Structure 1
Amino acid sequence: MNHSLLMNNMDTRYTLRFTAHKEGQLLREALGEWRISKRALTAIKFEGGLLTVNGIERNVRHPLQIGDCVEVKFPPEEKSEGLVVEYGELTIVYEDEAIIVLDKPAHQSTIPSREHPTKSIANYICGYFEQQALASTVHIVTRLDRDTSGLLCIAKHAHIHHLTGLAQRGGDVSREYEAIVHGHVVEACQSIVAPIGRKDTSIIEREVRNDGQFAHTDVFVKRRFYIQEEPMTHIRLKLHTGRTHQIRVHMAYLGHPLVGDELYGGTRQLIDRQALHCVSLSMQHPLTREVLHFTSSLHEDMQQLINNS
């Protein structure tokens, strides 16, 4: 399969180009092999997209010849209703025609909420896309809690989001975190496999419960230390699933809540947020299948905790 992405000043629709490699194959079958979803095909047909073969509009029943040039023009996207376009600072680690990887600060939401309706990453990405004249909306691939810092990935188009979703389900998106927790974690490395669900008495808080969703976290001790005679542990964690508050819930379940995480039993005497940072993100590029790897250093507030020990 050969493919490329086309963008030009005359047509802002997201466009992919493929080269047919099977004689007589129906366009519909080729599009499936190229991972164009049925939902996307419906949108192309009814919402202003276009399928062409060698520059001529065709329907999905068209038989292809080897070497045919197939262009898939996706309909323009509209941002979610209520998502305000704002302009603010974004720390971009990587960007190409398909994805953006950011280093998110603490105290900034990934998406707007009732409590924090503006100044989120999503708001700023909307403004950034507008400045670039991209007919796209925000598609969060890897989300972080408001007070968690570090790497997160955003897809520039719904089709790219679809491809990254396939990659996540196939285990081809890997995230690692570092955290500081209360107490000395005894085991140097361990796996926590414990289902997580919403707590009955809260719309926000999660807990380990038998009827929860499968959740798997690996924990590795980096260093045990004391601050003001209180034992703490600097740990590294690898997520195998992506449940809401997964690391925070699993560490509290172990009896070692994150420092600063008042929701799950931590204290904010030394830091004003949960001490959690996404330090590593590895993924297959959704178009090229190239393996990408990004890293981020701990932010100053967490580094200061470790240095003061």
Structure 2
Amino acid sequence: MNHLLQMNKMKDTRFTLRFIVQKDGQLLREALQEWRISKRALTAIKFEGGLLTVNGVERNVRYILQLGDCVEVTFPPEEKSEGLTIEHGHLNIVYEDEAILVIDKPAHQNTIPSREHPTGSIANIVCGHFQQQGLASTAHIVTRLDRDTSGLLCIAKHAHIHHLTGLAQRNREISRQYEAIVHGHIEQDSQSIIAPIGRKITSIIEREVCEDGQYAHTDVTVLKRFVLASEPMTYVRLQLHTGRTHQIRVHMSYLGHPLVGDDLYGGSRDYIDRQALHCVSFQMAHPLTNQPLQLTSMLNQDMLTLLKESSI
């Protein structure tokens, strides 16, 4: 199977994929299923301005394909959700192609707009970035980060790419590693925290470990134990196997070692004005080419400063 991204020569900004048929006598509907085009996407293509062609001729899903046919799937233009205003600003882009965008998010910036911060989010600025590129698309967040968490954040440029990355996440084919500074000295050099996480009954924001929560799994590896201003701290690397809201923050607090700066879950802001948490690596197979994509990010200066000022 061959994937090729293309833009229509008549300045058609719709997202188009090209496939070369590998089976003779197959229905177009069956081939589209194998190419992981969702039923929702097919409905949108049919009713919202998309197009299916075989060798340049428009066809329906009942068309019988022949070996070597060229199938083009043109997805309809996308509209951004209400309340997501287009803004223009700086993005620290680590990787970008026709399908995905990976940025290095600073601390103190929302991934998506909220009631408290309706503007200035990554999603707002990404929409502006897409507008400048002439993309008929909106921001599809693949790996969201909390407002005060920094590091690598992945965004799909089209709904179909978001669908493919969603499948990869459910199959645990996307890997993210974080580094954090937590209170206290963690005794074990490495351990797994497997504890379900659910919403705290008394809060609309906080999560907690609870029996009826969703399965959550975090691996913790100690990188350094140190003391800062007479307080013991530990520098750790964390591997997420699931992606629950506030997962690292909740699990580390549950372990008795809340993140430094995370006052929502028991940390102190005496040393840093946000939770000391940074996404340092992101790995996945590219959703279209299946080629490995491995990206890394250095710790923010505020976390580096804590480590430099420490003593063993």
Common fold, TM-score beyond 0.5?
Answer: yes
Instruction: Give the equivalent residue in structure 2 for 1:75.
Output: 76
Instruction: Give the equivalent residue in structure 2 for 1:8.
Output: 8
Matched to 1:3, the amino acid is: H
Question: Per-residue deviation at 1:170?
Answer: 1.1
CA distance in 1, matches of 2:229, 2:155: 40
CA offsets, 1:37-89, max 9 Å, x none?
Answer: 01100000011100000000000000000010000000000011110110111
Instruction: Give the equivalent residue in structure 2 for 1:24.
Output: 25
Instruction: Give the equivalent residue in structure 1 for 2:168.
Output: 167
CA distance in 1, matches of 2:9, 2:129: 18
> Is 1:259 aligned to 2:271, yes or no?
no
CA offsets, 1:153-178, max 9 Å, x none?
Answer: 00000000000011111111000000
Instruction: Give the equivalent residue in structure 1 for 2:233.
Output: 232
Q: Percent identity between the aligned chains?
A: 76
TM (norm. structure 2) is: 0.98
Unaligned runs of 5+ in 1: none
Matched to 2:46, the amino acid is: K
CA distance in 2, matches of 1:210, 1:101: 35
Matched to 2:88, the amino acid is: Y
CA distance in 2, matches of 1:9, 1:111: 33
Instruction: Give the equivalent residue in structure 2 for 1:43.
Output: 44
TM (norm. structure 1) is: 0.99
Instruction: Give the equivalent residue in structure 2 for 1:277.
Output: 278
Instruction: Give the equivalent residue in structure 2 for 1:209.
Output: 210
Matched to 1:181, the amino acid is: V
Matched to 2:4, the amino acid is: S
CA distance in 2, matches of 1:58, 1:228: 70
Q: CA RMSD in A?
A: 0.5
SS of 1:113 mapped into structure 2: coil
Instruction: Give the equivalent residue in structure 1 for 2:307.
Output: 306
CA distance in 1, matches of 2:172, 2:83: 33
Matched to 2:294, the amino acid is: H
CA offsets, 1:173-200, max 9 Å, x none?
Answer: 0000000000000000000000000000
CA distance in 2, matches of 1:223, 1:147: 23
CA distance in 1, matches of 2:190, 2:115: 38
SS of 2:261 mapped into structure 1: coil
After TM superposition, list the pairs within 5 Å mapping 1:100-115 onto structure 2: 100-115=101-116
SS of 1:5 mapped into structure 2: strand
Question: Per-residue deviation at 1:8?
Answer: 3.2
Instruction: Give the equivalent residue in structure 2 for 1:296.
Output: 297
Matched to 2:256, the amino acid is: G
Count residues in correspondence.
Answer: 309
Matched to 2:74, the amino acid is: K
Task: Spell out structure 1 runs of 4+ moving beyond 6 A.
Answer: none
CA distance in 2, matches of 1:151, 1:96: 16
SS of 1:303 mapped into structure 2: helix
CA distance in 1, matches of 2:299, 2:245: 22
Instruction: Give the equivalent residue in structure 1 for 2:224.
Output: 223
